[in-house]
Amino acid sequence: MSILVQREFVVAPADRVEFERQSREGLWPAFLHFGAQMVGYGTWAFGGPSDVVVTHTTYTDMTHWAATRQGPGAYYQDAAMRAEIEPFFQIYGKRGEVIGSSIAHLFEVDDAVSRPRPVARQAGQPVVDAPPTFGRGSVISERTLSVPRADRVEFRRISTEVIWPWLESQGGRAVGLGHDLMGSSEEVTTWFAFRSLADWQRLNRPSLIGAPADVVSAFATRGTMVTQQRGRLLTIGTDFGTKV
């Protein structure tokens, strides 16, 4: 199981363009040298606070995460790695000066079905690929669902073997499935990317747009397994990544 750190930053509106630039040109490329991928940056359009910017970054484990910490992290103490990232560090080294504060959430990610593939890279090894993205203006739907343990395996199967493939055939893109390590043991969280808010809304109504019967049935069956849910939509605010 890898981990995903979702961090919300308080950045003044006047500083957000520069914050994103330093991240896109400096920090996130440097993280590819560390083997970590930033898979979603933007602001909450619905369901979350509008006064923060948000990143979603994946790591192999907590040791990997600790190695990426600016200053004391093992990657910054490694001379060969520091030489690799030095051009990027010149861009983002003072990025923290525009951050008022931040808060992070920690998720454990199901590697068998999630798309990010972080690695604990060492200097000289192949650099990790930039993650796929639909680019600025696209959205990531985050849903946190309460699913009884008895239904968890079937919920996962229906989601990843029926619903997600259909959504991807319609232009969506799976990001991952995980669990908030500081949340309820009954909850799972999914992240799924759409090219627009309109696509997100349309594809959440499979029975109204002519989806195959097995897909409509899968949505209905999965819905009976969910005892409670909440969601929010992140509007992507960067073109960092590999456009798809």
Distance between CA atoms of residues 59 and 71, nearest Å? 18
pLDDT of residue 136: 98
Q: Which of the four pLDDT bands, split at 50, 70 and 90, describes residue 182?
A: very high
Contact 102, 5 (CB under 8 A): no
Distance between CA atoms of residues 35 and 128, nearest Å? 6
pLDDT of residue 229: 96
Compute the mean pLDDT over every residue in the chain, rounded to the nearest whole number: 97
Residue among 165, 211, 159 nearest 188 (CA): 159
> CA separation (Å) from 134 to 46, 194, 227, 235?
19, 8, 31, 11
Contact 147, 79 (CB under 8 A): no
pLDDT in tens, 7-58: 999 999 999 999 999 999 999 999 999 999 999 999 999 999 999 999 999 9
Q: Give the mean model confidence (pLDDT) for residues 134-149.
A: 97
Beta bridge partners of 55: 7, 41
Q: Give the mean model confidence (pLDDT) for residues 177-189.
A: 95
Q: Give the mean model confidence (pLDDT) for residues 223-241.
A: 97
Residue among 2, 77, 72, 1 nearest 35 (CA): 2
Q: What is the pTM of this model?
A: 0.96
pLDDT of residue 85: 98
Contact 193, 139 (CB under 8 A): yes
pLDDT in tens, 81-140: 999 999 999 999 999 999 999 999 999 999 999 999 999 999 999 999 999 999 999 999
